[in-house]
Amino acid sequence: MGVRGPTPKRSDNRVRRNVTDENGVSTKMAPAAINVKPPAEDRAWHPVIKGWYRSLKESGQSVFYEPSDWQAARFLAHYASKVLRAAEDTTDPTPLRAASIGRIWSMMGDLMTTETSRRRARVELIRLGLEPGDGDTGGGDEPGTEVVNINDFRTAYE
């Protein structure tokens, strides 16, 4: 999953760039699969889950996915779809439980589907045509990032 603790800063904001981790262990490397093709989604999945699965195919981190990662995503989609369908069942609805949602969110994090999980895995996605600090880097702690006063929004909508 990556490191624990606070979300690491983006690489262009970090001062130290060690070759090894804090325990002196370097990253092991092995050849990746060639021409990884994501499996098709199941037509029976919940529409929200279908949308999530399709978004994985378009997301930048998916270039790192191996066939086993795609199978993990399929398993997650199957499980999440069952949870959502059970909650929507009109004859015998099962309420959404925090433990189920937490497990789904954790599994999504393992697939690096959020900025925080990507930073913990030390994966950074950069939009082509933008330089770091141009505003679309997502972290909010980069130099030159605009800070928005939430009170301005609150007074505007009261």
Are 73 and 107 in contact by the 8 Å Cβ rule? The answer is no
**pTM of this prediction?**
0.66
CA distance 15 to 57: 33
What angle, rounded to 10 degrees, do the helices at 67-88 and 47-58 form?
Answer: 160
pLDDT digits (tens, 9 = 90+) for 42-85: 999 999 999 999 999 999 899 889 999 999 999 999 999 999 99
Instruction: Please state, in angstroms and rounded to a whole number, the distance separating the CA atoms of residues 154 and 151.
Output: 5
Q: Where are the domains of the chain?
A: 11-17+31-136
Output the six-digit token pair for 45.
Answer: 């999945």
Tokens of 122: 């030390």
Q: Give residue-wise pLDDT tens across range 123-152.
A: 888 877 766 555 554 445 555 556 666 677
